[in-house]
Amino acid sequence: MQSANTTSLYVPQTLPVARAIALRHEVEAFNAEYCAMLDTGSVERWPEFFVEDCIYRITARENAELNMPVGLVYAQGRAMLHDRAIAISRTQMFAPRYNLHIVSNTRVTSESPNGEFAAQANFMLLQTLIEGPTTIHMAGSYFDRFVREGQQLLLKERQVIYDTTIIANDLVYPV
Amino acid sequence: MQSANTTSLYVPQTLPVARAIALRHEVEAFNAEYCAMLDTGSVERWPEFFVEDCIYRITARENAELNMPVGLVYAQGRAMLHDRAIAISRTQMFAPRYNLHIVSNTRVTSESPNGEFAAQANFMLLQTLIEGPTTIHMAGSYFDRFVREGQQLLLKERQVIYDTTIIANDLVYPV
Amino acid sequence: MQSANTTSLYVPQTLPVARAIALRHEVEAFNAEYCAMLDTGSVERWPEFFVEDCIYRITARENAELNMPVGLVYAQGRAMLHDRAIAISRTQMFAPRYNLHIVSNTRVTSESPNGEFAAQANFMLLQTLIEGPTTIHMAGSYFDRFVREGQQLLLKERQVIYDTTIIANDLVYPV
């Protein structure tokens, strides 16, 4: 929680402004595609947004700030994402609902000579249950590492750091 | 609701990335103007954001996914928007409140040879009543078709697809 | 509240579109940095986002629309922001929580010959208390004036106009 020593997540943006903006536009386009895929229930396409040798993790901010990377969800390699996606698309483990992502505050913080770069964005995952209001199911930040394969931007690593401490048990679905 | 066959709303982005980004910037500017106009109660200017021969519709996501385009609100042609705007600006049919739009996840999905293009964005409509908290009144997506008249980007079609299933009866006001 | 005469806050965008978009990208980058700084509790860096001779104010929309600029918070000059930041970082006056800003709908509305320009954006400040859900603590708009010092964009004035009428008494923390 907010205290004198919770700044471990703050990474200043160190790129030249014009370069950071150009990369940000690509990340925004990527995230809009990624979220549209998830929000329309096309989870079987989820692994296509990652490189083969990838990491996907969902962690509470409290743990992340303490550098305890133990996460609620951890997957390594596209094959593991694929298994997960197939399992989810074949199972209806939760009450029907609509998901809607709102992503903002995208920042590209650094770029390596090999073209890999680090980005960050804030997100809200809104949920609407049948005959219910729309609520904030989860809010937090993406901490990403992107690489290129050909023209295509892909995730090498996505760390989902969530603020919301009470999480319903349906977190099997990717964020 | 989320099931095996709810992907009808997912439209992959098919434009070259650079072109999609350039058009997205224009759409973001357009939507920021559009929402500022609505949020400040300048509804009499609402028809100025559409071409003469336009369609405006508000539909529940449930209906849209079943390809049932019957909507809560339907207007065809700028004259009909104008009548609606005048009626709203002259009538106080609802309790005083503040509206605030949050628009994100803008995507330009396709462009025709004649310059018309399709775009999408997620929105939240926040409302604040007197001495009350700010709540999510409605969340959903815009599905738009844009055209140009001179330098000016204008809506040929705006489909507002909302997730939120309980809608207060004050939906006379545009989104 | 929403009535016939609440349009005083609406400022049409008067810049050429391409120029407005270019400046908007810089403002979006600035705001992403600003909010990341606040959300990670790095408040001691808050004054670095302003010029020496600056104004920072937090005002209810109701007052702003009536041109009553009396605010909840008012600070003039970077020294005053600095004092405030130091006081906040040394005092734990409120229950532990996470802050997360969502900023959208950024508009650059005008630019002066000397390079100073006016911008606007909508924001939500989300808060998550220990073992609680994430809620909308405050929603509203930034009304800003930006200047450049060297390559660096800085705030000459930030007016935070909030819709949310019930504000908890912890508003000592900047928005």
Q: Which residues of C touch A164 (CB under 8 A)?
A: 128, 133-134
**Rounded mean pLDDT of chain A?**
88
* pLDDT tens digits, one per residue of A137-161: 999 999 999 999 998 999 999 999 9
Q: In the prediction, which pLDDT does B14 show?
A: 87
By the 8 A CB rule, do A157 and A117 touch?
no
Q: In the prediction, which pLDDT does B115 show?
A: 94
DSSP secondary structure letter of residue A72? S
Q: For C136, which residue in chain B has the nearest alpha carbon?
A: B134
- Tell me the pLDDT band of B95, cut-offs 50, 70 and 90: low
Instruction: Give one word for C150, left, alpha or beta, with left for phi > 0 and alpha for psi -120 to 50.
Output: left
By the 8 A CB rule, do C172 and C56 touch?
no
Q: Determine the length of chain C.
A: 175
Q: For A94, which residue in chain B has the nearest alpha carbon?
A: B2
Q: Which residues of B touch A25 (CB under 8 A)?
A: 21, 24-25
CA triplet C54, A10, C96: central angle to 5 degrees?
Answer: 85
Report the complex ipTM.
0.91
Q: Which residues of A touch B3 (CB under 8 A)?
A: 41, 92, 96
- In chain C, the percentage of residues whose pLDDT exceeds 70 is 88
What's the mean pLDDT in B84-94? 77
Q: What's the gap in Å between the CA of A143 and the closest CA on chain B?
A: 17
Decide if C102 and A102 are in contact by the 8 Å CB cutoff. Answer: yes
Q: Is the pLDDT of residue C7 over 50?
A: no
Q: Strand C50-60 to strand C73-76: parallel, antiparallel, or no bridges (unpaired)? A: antiparallel
Q: Is the pLDDT of residue A7 over 70?
A: no
> What's the gap between Cα A14 and its chain centre?
22
Q: Which of C6, C24, C106 sits opposite B40 (nearest CB)?
A: C6
Closest CA to A61 of A127, A144, A159: A159
- In chain B, the percentage of residues whose pLDDT exceeds 70 is 88
Start-to-end C-alpha separation, chain A: 22
A4 touches C: beta carbon within 8 Å: yes
A22 touches B: beta carbon within 8 Å: no
Can you give the pTM of this predicted structure? 0.93
Cross-sheet strand order for the sheet of A152-162? A73-76, A50-60, A152-162, A134-149, A117-129, A97-111
| Cα–Cα separations (whole angstroms), residue C5 to A16, A109, B116, B173, C8 | 44, 44, 36, 17, 7
Q: In the prediction, which pLDDT does A129 show?
A: 86
CA–CA dist A84, A77 (Å, integer): 11
* pLDDT tens digits, one per residue of C49-82: 999 999 999 998 988 888 776 777 899 999 999 9
Q: In the prediction, which pLDDT does A6 show?
A: 45
Q: In the prediction, which pLDDT does A39 show?
A: 94
Backbone angles phi, psi at A38, to 5 degrees: -65, -45
B 87-116 near A (Cβ less than 8 A): 102, 104-107
B16 touches C: beta carbon within 8 Å: no
Q: Is the pLDDT of residue B97 over 70?
A: yes
Q: Which amino acid appears at position B88 of this protein?
A: I
Q: What is the largest CA-CA distance in chain B?
A: 51
Q: In the prediction, which pLDDT does B7 show?
A: 45
- In chain C, the percentage of residues whose pLDDT exceeds 90 is 62
Of residues A156 and A165, which shows the higher confidence score?
A156
Q: Which residues of B touch A29 (CB under 8 A)?
A: 13, 17, 20-21, 24, 107
Q: In the prediction, which pLDDT does B164 show?
A: 82
